[in-house]
Copies of this chain bind each other. A is one copy, B any other.
Amino acid sequence: MLNLKVSVIGSGNWGSAIAKIVAENAAENSDIFETDVRMWVFEELVAGQKLTEIINTQHENVKYLPGIKLPSNVVAVPDLLDAVKDANLLVFNVPHQFLPRICSQLKGKVPSTVRAVSCIKGVEVSGDGITIIADYISQELGIYCGALSGANLAPEVAQEKFSETTIAYKVPDPSDSIDARVVRTLFHRPYFHVNVVGDVAGVSLCGALKNIVALASGFVDGMAWGDNAKAAIIRRGLLEMTKFGREFFPECNASTFTEESCGVADVITSCSGGRNNKLGAAMIKTRRPIFELEEELLKGQKAQGVTTAQEVHEFLERRGKLEDFPLFTAVHDIIFNGLDSYALPQILEDVEQKF
């Protein structure tokens, strides 16, 4: 009887969908987990009632995941420190801009034996370097943190439509009681298949870099170049993602990119109609500035790819590596420097097979 206490930090649509999964598994695996799963909810009023009260009585996050019943063992908690008190396993699932504040509140309050999994996609890139979000949590809180990422559109997962995900989780001490098996048991469902790998950097990079590829696939849609071209851009994008990982994080495995859900599968999903893809297509079709379109199409939400393309470009430029990543560089230049997207085949040709 491990009686592990699990807390989910975050309650957006993805946070709530993950809390649902985790609570289902906690209830079914009482030999490992305590049944109740706390979910930290940023308190707000919905039609005059506190959101935490609605969740705890109606078992539905009416604001961020309406129409989906949450298990009754998901317990919404408005105070962050109450939500994590005595927890053994923390699941981070908040928009990444809120993370620094959350970590500063938790700093010094979490024992070093606690383990964490970050469902926050991606990395922070600056000209100076790349910070993996899971590593940031590790460093801020002094605990081990893994990463979950995959082809996981939250509404489909919440509706229990079949999907797969990848969790990177490899505790330094193999005898740690919260090991990969425990983590898989917490997340794996009949409709949500989990594969655990050891590659935190690779899984995290996939979640960020795929958004650049999705913009490029949007350009192809905008030019109406068809299925061959779209598949070609996805393939080249996947190869540049892999190369980026291997070059700057030599501990990455190429297979994380080419074989796992967080890699090839998430790229396919993101290129078949996600936000970045739509934005890229609209940009080519309308020839209007991307920030204007972002505002209009996404109603205040951000297409992460634009920022990532900019940050990755700055990172590569400082290292003199732009030429090794022609697709990433072209995406940046199409958005920011007026490069004609019709030049893509020629740009990609310049780095092809030489004998």
28 cross-chain CB contacts under 8 A: A151-B228, A153-B227, A156-B229, A161-B225, A161-B229, A162-B225, A162-B344, A163-B228, A164-B231, A164-B236, A180-B355, A191-B345, A193-B345, A228-B269, A230-B269, A231-B261, A231-B264, A231-B272, A232-B265, A234-B264, A235-B261, A235-B264, A235-B268, A239-B259, A255-B258, A258-B259, A264-B264, A272-B272
Q: Are A232 and B344 in contact (CB under 8 A)?
A: no
Q: Are B349 and A190 in contact (CB under 8 A)?
A: yes
Most chain B C-beta atoms within 10 Å of own C-beta, residue among A156, A161, A190, A230: A161
Kindly state the interface size class of chain A when it binds its partner.
35 or more
Report whether over half of chain A's contact residues are helix, strand or loop; otherwise say mixed: helix
In the bound complex, residues from chain B placing their C-beta under 8 Å from that of A345 are 162, 190-191, 193
Quick check: is A59 within 8 A (CB to CB) of the other chain? no
Residue among B226, B235, B236 making CB contact with A161, cutoff 8 Å: B226
Query: A163 with B229: in contact, given A193-B348, A268-B234, A345-B193 (CB under 8 Å)?
Result: yes
Residue of chain B at shortest CB distance from A353: B195
Q: Are A238 and B264 in contact (CB under 8 A)?
A: yes
Quick check: is A276 within 8 A (CB to CB) of the other chain? no
Most chain B C-beta atoms within 10 Å of own C-beta, residue among A162, A220, A229: A162
Query: A349 with B231: in contact, given A180-B355, A259-B239 (CB under 8 Å)?
Result: no
Residue of chain B at shortest CB distance from A257: B258
Other contacts beyond A164-B235, A231-B261, A231-B264: 6, CB < 8 A: A153-B226, A161-B225, A180-B355, A184-B355, A230-B269, A238-B264
In Å, the complex CA distance between A272 and B264 comes to 15
Quick check: is A273 within 8 A (CB to CB) of the other chain? yes
When A and B form their complex, which 5 residue pairs have the shortest distance between CB atoms, in order from nearest?
A163-B228, A231-B265, A151-B231, A258-B258, A162-B229
Binding site for B on A (CB under 8 A): 151-153, 156-157, 161-164, 180-181, 184, 190-191, 193-196, 220, 225-232, 234-236, 238-239, 255, 258-261, 264-266, 268-269, 272-273, 344-346, 348-349, 352-353, 355
Q: Are A232 and B151 in contact (CB under 8 A)?
A: yes
Query: A156 with B193: in contact, given A232-B162, A235-B265, A258-B264 (CB under 8 Å)?
Result: no
In the bound complex, residues from chain B placing their C-beta under 8 Å from that of A152 are 228
Min CB distance A23 to B, Å, is 20
